[in-house]
Chain A
Amino acid sequence: MPKIKKKRTGFVIDMTPLVDITFLLLTFFMFTAKFKSQAESEQKFSIQRPKVSADTSKVPDKDVAIVKIAVDTVSLDTNYYYELANETDRPQVWEMSKSLTPEQRIKAQIKVNSLDQLSELIKNTRQVRASTKFAIDADKRLTFKWIYNAMDVLRKNNATVFNYVTEKRG
């Protein structure tokens, strides 16, 4: 019976393994976290990418120009958008493209007015850096006409190899 008399002063859990694992996971997620680019935070649309079987090829990080075709979430109109990942090339290309309005010029991602303007942007991008890779990022619900027109512009500017941005199925 004397055991009962012993005063209990609370208990201590050894949290060291918990902290170990938590820090491990935290560092993992911190390093893998990829934040939105300036262009992405400006945009008022989200693209539902077409789903395809798994592939290892990823969108190139640098020197990539993306032609986005998306439906605006507010006004519900479809439009072409042009994003240039390389931040040193971007001002040069914007400067060279004479058809850009002052409002368009300050943006990191341009809402393209016409196919001619898109053509001008692609042409200037290739002039500034010929190795720039092109990608088409379009919503899967759109009609093929939009994509075909963009492809035609790329073809006219001799960018015959490009990528379709897709998403893994499942």
Chain B
Amino acid sequence: MAGGGGQLKAERPKRGKVSKRKKMKRVGFYLDMTPLVDITFLLLTFFMFTTTMATPQVMEMSIPPEIEDEVEVKISELFQIFVRNDNKIFYTIGDEDPQEVALKDIKSLAERLNLKDAVKNKLITALKPDTSASYGTVVGILDELNLAEVAITSEISKSIDSTGNPTKRQRRFTIAPISEKETEKIKGL
């Protein structure tokens, strides 16, 4: 490129004029960047509008595998959350009567129940949504329970287990459909 430019200059016939110009002060050169900016802005706006910033994220779930024999659990260590077909949420601890709970209160409720001395690190959380409850509500509850896990884990790890390490949080969680008996129980509430 540079060589080509030099050749062109050499072929110029009128040297006189060139020398006249030389007297003018050269202050550098201006490159008209307008078309460049036009195109760049066009592409920029295109990419800006087509980008989706809210990329989907995931919530990990692990469900117990299919097993034939039933596992026996203490009723006092069972924290059950029911979702009724109208998306109202109820909970029971042990064999107590179900009580209604708001979605935003589940976090504090789960924290409180999990940190009771008697059931610390033993409590089993069972989420039992009605088959006609909405998926959005179920995921909302899962999210609240996940948020509660932060406080629970940090509280539990304060104590030291037999090996001298901080106690590991053992999360026991299951998701199962609601039984007819349980549906009946929360029907009139």
Contact = CB atoms under 8 A, between A and B. Distances in A.
Interface stretch (A55-63, A96-104, A107-115): A55-63
A46 to B, nearest CB: 12
A163 B143 contact: no
A155 B65 contact: yes
Contacts of A151: 63, 175
A15 B33 contact: yes
A33 B43 CA distance: 12
A18 B37 contact: yes
A29 B37 contact: no
Interface in B40-71: 40-41, 43-44, 47-48, 50-52, 54-66
Given A15-B34, A22-B37, A135-B58, A146 B51 contact: no
Interface stretch (B6-14, B16-24, B130-138): B130-138
Given A26-B44, A26-B47, A140 B139 contact: yes
Given A26-B43, A151-B63, A50 B139 contact: yes
Contact-size category for B: 35 or more
B58 A22 contact: no
Most chain A CB inside 10 Å of its own CB: which residue of B40, B44, B50, B131:
B44
A18 B40 CA distance: 10
Contacts of B37: 15, 18-19, 22
A145 interface: yes
B136 A141 contact: yes
Contacts of B64: 160
Nearest to A25: B44
Given A57-B58, A59-B58, A164-B61, A147 B135 contact: yes
8 contacts: A19-B33, A22-B44, A58-B55, A143-B132, A155-B63, A156-B66, A165-B58, A167-B54
Interface of A: 12, 15-16, 18-19, 22-23, 25-26, 29-30, 32-34, 49-59, 135, 137-148, 151, 154-156, 158, 160-168
